[in-house]
A and B are shown apart, each in its own frame.
Chain A
């Protein structure tokens, strides 16, 4: 097992390098140069050229890539000109917020999605199946930002059950209860779509498995129907559900961008959108690379979980 994890980690290196290349290439496509963006369109050409030289932007692209890569490896992601602080500091601080939000949502959608899918499949065409199918359809059809806005309107403005926005109260203790209070609405809004997708997939994976011969074997040896569903069928269905959980984690991270904006949540997504609008490219680059790298590592965890579940995967 240790060898397997090591192997997966080593094989992630080219992927991580690929990510930096892609990000760098996209950013190199940008017309105009950052110096103009920094200094404004009224800057003199001399000043722009000087800043370009200072930033090392006059070197060929491949040199700039390696300089950028080398700096990142030493923890230097550059400095954000719009915030005037090191990119890494800002990203780390913001990523913390995103992690809380997206992590909670991911746990919610995994648990409820799988449960809903199993219940749906176990009662195929029954009322529970119909109700779940309908809820899932609504869930995957509603834009999460619209859902978030409606939740604010109903639960925060009208019912006043939860705060409207933010991560912490402006006055008062920053304790876990305050966090839960602020987290509930955005986490649910973010989880809904992924729950729907996972539930659908879990349902069809369960239906697929329930028709297999080994389920008939379990029944023929007298296993209770409950055991057939939860012990035999779900375990086998998890083999195809787990990779989807990995993909959905990416979707939850992505959806977090919208939810962070709607709920004014201090996360990395909101930071990225602001950085794009102010053309703070180092911040965009750094943020994208950092989050993508975290996601790659998370997918290794998913692969390891998969190999623990399925002995047929060579470790």
Chain B
């Protein structure tokens, strides 16, 4: 709760709204205590006094009544009715929505049919019909406004409830012996309340507008009592001659509704967990680059060469060093594997090369990525864009999410070509067809006009590969391309990638967490831990004799097929969080061989040529690991 208020206060606009609304509410509350003229006593002699008149600060209306007094009493009424309508509508709507969403099936069907029926009316028709039936009056207007809003709440809350009711913790609660009523109260409701509050805070303003509207039409509060809407309605006939009688209540409504909306937005932002983490920011076209210190020079070690790459995520006041100085190089026709657990920085390394790390919050803070000698990290957007997909192409993890759901796969392939080359539609189509055949998609001709959702996961990933090949790039960066696939499909995709690399001389950077995959596909491997490479070498060297204790222990954890039931090796503890990296070796806390010196200073990645390890006490043989 405190955290919520603090978050709210940090939002300056919400604070302004909150202060404005508090002032208005305070004024409305103390109105009976203020020395005001009686709001409903007419004095025809003092009609239409202008503002700042003697004894009438805001002037008088067509019956000579003090506008200030009427304004404050009217505000009181409007606020009370608006809030009451909102609470009634939210309570009823939420109850209906939760019941429909939780029970589902027939209950849901019947309730939602009814809700649909009510929502089939433009809302005012329903409100007018209700007022017509009940007769004009403020209380009836309140009922009408609340009633037309119930379906909106019900539908909104039902949607949220359905999502929550299918969460695993609800199943777990059932298995803990909870009854439905108890599940609704203790599992569903606490998770729905923030949504109800958000929905309420964003609709209260609107409800105040609506009740004011009905009063404006003469269907709400009846003379002589006035709320803000009926004040406006009565003033309308004098709009041209005495506009101040209209402006005064109108501006008051504007102030109230605006402050409620500001506050409501603030509440929404404070309650929405995605906004808290800044995850609702729009990623820019290319990752922000803010390099500190000197840019390391290219050594010509490969077609694509990454030197000293550092990428950070700045979330609020925390700095996550996702990549903390990585050197990599890959030659044409070579496949380099990057292996690591989640959070090791392997994907961020790969995405940094072409500026595809979401930014905000990502920033490249150091290093360089050379493609054929040209630095991509500092390159202007136009140059980067021209090289994306053309020279360096990507294959991503989840083929379901990475293809555009609303375009045919053929069109997506054609687009990939046409953004780089002036090819005619028919030529591009022919090439797209050839690409689909290259990635061994059966019935390629028909598949061109399929949408992604019409294909299986394996077929979609083949389309992803075809798209990466569309412009004959020299380098392909594959970010866990088979992780989302079943084993039998994974085997096909891997062998396809292997064939393509050999037949086309592609340089592949292959990111994975699976040693089995690395062993089958990659020539060389770099092992990452907590944002840095801890060991690299040829696949054979690493698999046969890992030298970093982390690599050795990680490999021992992986169960291998064909060894039967057994106890597995494990690594105690957890990887460090990259916003609080310890000095020295990041693995020291989990390493049985760690010495005080391991925690002292930066440990270099040492070794001869391409076989290097970042450890002061590297393993010397397999026997040591087995102990």
Binding site for B on A (CB under 8 A): 14-15, 18-19, 22-23, 26-27, 29-31, 121-122, 124, 137-138, 140-143, 145-146, 149-150, 152-153, 157, 204, 206-208, 210-225, 227-228, 232, 235-236, 239, 247, 249-251, 253-255, 257-258, 261-262, 269, 272-273, 275-277, 279, 281, 284, 288, 291-292, 295-296, 299, 309-312
Question: Is A18 a contact of B218 with CB atoms below 8 Å?
Answer: no
B397 (CB) vs chain A CBs: closest residue: A213
Residues of A near B114 (CB, < 8 A) are 18
Instruction: Looking at the assembled complex, report how far the CB atom of B445 sits from the nearest CB atom of chain A, in whole angstroms.
Output: 19
A212 to B396, CA, bound (A): 12
**Min CB gap B477→A, angstroms:** 9
Residues of B with C-beta under 8 A to A269: 124
> Whole-angstrom distance between the alpha carbons of A309 and B470 in the complex?
26
Considering only CB atoms, which chain B residue lies closest to A273 in the complex?
B217
Q: Which residue of B lies closest to A134 (CB)?
A: B13
State the majority secondary structure of interface residues on A. Answer: helix
Which residues from B are CB-within-8-Å of A122?
282
Interface assignment of B406: CB less than 8 Å from any CB of chain A: yes
Asked whether, in the complex, the Cβ of B415 is within 8 Å of the Cβ of A291, the reply is no
Q: How many residues of B contact A (CB 8 A)?
A: 83
In the complex, what residues of B have CB within 8 A of residue A141's CB?
Answer: 205, 254, 257-258, 261
Residue among A30, A142, A149, A224 having the largest count of chain B Cβ atoms under 10 Å: A149
Give the Cβ gap from A259 to chain B, nearest Cβ, in Å.
11
Asked whether B246 is an interface residue with its Cβ less than 8 Å from the other chain, the reply is yes
Given the known interface contacts A222-B385, A223-B419, the answer about A121 and B282 at a Cβ–Cβ threshold of 8 Å is yes
Query: Are A214 and B419 in contact, with the CB atoms below 8 A?
Result: no
Using known A-B contacts A145-B232, A146-B253, A222-B389, determine if residue A157 contacts B402 with beta carbons closer than 8 Å: no
Beta-carbon contact of A254 and B125 below 8 Å: yes
Known: A210-B283, A254-B124, A311-B451. A220 touches B388 (CB 8 A): yes
* Chain A residues closer than 8 Å to B116, beta-carbon distance: 15
CB distance from A17 to the nearest CB of B (A): 9
Contact of B406 with A235 in the complex, beta carbons under 8 Å: yes
| Cβ 8 A contact of A295, one of B120, B129, B229 | B120
Contacts A/B (CB < 8 Å), 23 sampled: A19-B121, A26-B129, A138-B258, A143-B212, A145-B232, A153-B239, A153-B243, A207-B282, A212-B401, A217-B394, A219-B388, A221-B393, A221-B416, A222-B416, A225-B381, A228-B285, A250-B123, A257-B128, A262-B236, A275-B132, A292-B120, A311-B451, A312-B451
Which chain B residues lie closer than 8 Å to A255 at the CB level? 124
Residue of B nearest to A197 (CB): B206
Shortest CB distance A282–B (Å)? 12
Contact B217 A257 (CB under 8 A): yes
Residue of chain B at shortest CB distance from A272? B128
Nearest Cβ in chain B — how far from A46, in angstroms?
A: 26
Docked-complex contact B133 and A30, CB < 8 angstroms: yes
Contact with A along B405-417 (1 / 0, CB 8 A): 1110000000110
Bound-state Cα–Cα, A134 to B419, Å:
36
Contact indicator B254/A142 (Cβ below 8 Å):
yes
Cβ A292 vs Cβ B121 within 8 A: yes
Taking the complex as formed, is B279 at the interface, i.e. its CB lies under 8 A from any CB of chain A?
Answer: yes
- What residues of chain A lie closer than 8 Å to B239, measured between beta carbons? 149, 152-153
B307 close to A (CB within 8 Å)? no
Quick one: CB contact mask for B107-122 with A, threshold 8 Å, 1 for yes? 0000001101111111
Would you give the shortest CB distance from A254 to chain B, in whole angstroms? 3
Min CB distance B12 to A, Å, is 12
Closest to B385 in A: A222
Quote the shortest CB–CB distance from A127 to chain B (angstroms): 15
Does B386 have its Cβ within 8 Å of any Cβ on chain A?
A: yes
Q: Are A273 and B130 in contact (CB under 8 A)?
A: no
In the complex, how many angstroms separate the beta carbon of B568 from the nearest chain A beta carbon? Answer: 33
Q: Is A288 a contact partner of B128 (Cβ separation < 8 A)?
A: yes
Determine the chain A residues whose CB is within 8 A of the CB of B229 once the complex forms: 143
Sample of 8 more A-B contacts, CB < 8 Å, known A220-B394, A221-B419, A223-B419: A18-B117, A22-B118, A27-B132, A143-B257, A150-B250, A211-B283, A217-B467, A292-B125
Q: Whose C-beta in chain A lies nearest to the C-beta of B285?
A: A225
Kindly provide the distance from the CB of A263 to the nearest chain B CB, expressed in whole angstroms.
11
Please tell me if B433 contacts chain A, counting CB pairs below 8 Å. Answer: no
> What B residues does A137 contact at CB under 8 A?
258, 261-262
Closest 5 CB pairs of A and B: A254-B124, A146-B250, A221-B389, A141-B258, A18-B117
Picked from B113, B133, B398, B420, the residue with its CB within 8 Å of the CB of A27 is B133
Residues of A within 8 A of B240 (CB): 152-153, 157
Given contacts A19-B117, A124-B282, A222-B389, whether A26 and B453 have CB atoms under 8 Å apart is: no
Q: Mark B214-257, 1 if CB is under 8 A from A, else 0.
A: 00111100000000010010001001100100110010011001
CA distance A18 to B151 in the complex (A): 15
| A295-B416 in contact given A30-B132, A30-B133, A149-B239 (Cβ < 8 Å) | no
One of B120, B404, B407 near A299 (C-beta < 8 A): B120
Of the listed residues B205, B419, B451, the one surrounded by the most CB atoms of chain A closer than 10 A to its CB is: B419
Query: Are A288 and B125 closer than 8 Å at their CB atoms?
Result: yes
User: How many Å lie between the Cα of A152 and that of B237 in the bound state?
Assistant: 12
Write out the residue numbers on chain B whose beta carbons fall within 8 Å of the beta carbon of A18: 113-114, 117, 120
Chain B positions 176-233 with a Cβ under 8 Å from a chain A Cβ: 205-206, 209, 212-213, 216-219, 229, 232
B358 and A211 contacting across the interface, CB-CB below 8 Å: yes
Within the complex, the shortest CB–CB distance from A312 to chain B, in Å, comes to 5
B402 x A217 contact (CB < 8 A) = yes
Closest beta carbon of chain A to B326's beta carbon, Å: 20
| B246 and A124 contact, CB distance less than 8 A | no
Determine if B122 and A221 form an interchain contact, defined as CB atoms under 8 angstroms apart: no
Out of A19, A152, A236, A257, name the residue touching B124 (CB < 8 Å).
A257
CA distance A50 to B153 in the complex (A): 46
**Quick one: which of B122, B246, B381, B396 has the most chain A CB within 10 A?**
B122
Of all chain A residues, which has the CB nearest B381? A225
CB distance from B35 to the nearest CB of A (A): 29
The verdict on B29 contacting chain A, using a C-beta distance below 8 Å, is no
Task: State A228–B284 Cα separation when bound (angstroms).
Answer: 11
How far does the Cβ of A288 sit from chain B's closest Cβ, in whole Å? 5
From 507 to 554 in chain B, residues with beta carbon under 8 angstroms from any chain A beta carbon are: none
The smallest beta-carbon distance between A158 and chain B, in angstroms, is 10
- Assess whether B620 is interfacial by the CB under 8 Å rule: no
Q: Could you tell me if A224 and B282 are in contact, using CB atoms closer than 8 angstroms?
A: no
Counting CB contacts under 8 A, is B356 at the interface? yes
Closest CB of chain A to B381's CB: distance in Å?
8
Query: A99 vs B381: C-alpha distance in the bound complex, in angstroms?
Result: 48
Chain B residues with CB under 8 A of A220: 354, 356, 388-389, 393-394, 396
Residue of B nearest to A32 (CB): B135
Residues in B whose Cβ lies below 8 Å from that of A210:
282-283
